[in-house]
A = this chain, B = another copy of it.
């Protein structure tokens, strides 16, 4: 495929905000937050309407190189007989240079930009489901706040238990790790300090890494496991407190 013709196709696609797919032999350099080099080889370059650009090899889901909200240029180098697609941006300052020695195919498509993926089973949704009925987790538990911003982070749920103690809840949709425990610890401390009231911290997750459980115990926090299912909406099916010997409150 002629390079001049290719250049015209790409510029046209950019102008029309069409999804543009370039197949060809290229070498790719990236410089910015890191530095990478991809030797000459056959790849697919993808430009989207929002000026995101990515270079895909014939493996993996993630592209080898990528940039969002790029300034994209496409120029011919008459000396080297190559077509050079450059993507640049500031903040962070970075550059992708794809030098095509051969263009195998170019296709552009007018695909309307949309954003209508409906996702069920996110943490946010589980959070809402839990807030609907906290007594499910423990009798007498009443919701106070959700997604409360602290200096040290964002606390999933704050509630009050039957004995009037504050309860900080950190919810995870998958196995809890160290991060989950240290998050909960931070929020529990924050609440304790702010309110000066005895505060419990509960980590709620489908499972927990053994070492994270050790840390949790050390911090005097509690862990409950739970199951959930996802159909039309997320639904919390059951809570199991027996995995951990908890002092009876």
Q: Which residues of A contact B (CB under 8 A)?
A: 17-19, 21, 23, 33-39, 41-44, 46, 48-50, 52, 54, 56-61, 63-66, 68, 104-105, 107, 109-122, 151-153, 173-174, 178-179, 182-183, 186, 211, 215, 230-231
Contact = CB atoms under 8 A, between A and B. Distances in A.
A116 B179 CA distance: 33
Contacts of A33: 121, 174
A34 B64 CA distance: 26
Copies of this protein, total? 2
Contacts of A179: 179, 182
Nearest to A104: B109
A104 B108 CA distance: 11
Nearest to A38: B117
A5 to B, nearest CB: 17
A110 B23 CA distance: 10
B23 A114 contact: no
A-B complex: 4 closest residue pairs judged by Cβ atoms: A34-B121, A58-B111, A35-B120, A50-B59
A227 B179 CA distance: 27
Contact of A58 (B35, B48, B152, B173): B48
A37 B119 CA distance: 7
A44 B112 CA distance: 11
8 contacts: A34-B121, A35-B119, A35-B121, A37-B118, A52-B60, A58-B111, A105-B109, A153-B211
B111 A39 contact: no
Contacts of A117: 36-38, 64-65
A113 B34 contact: no
A61 B60 contact: no
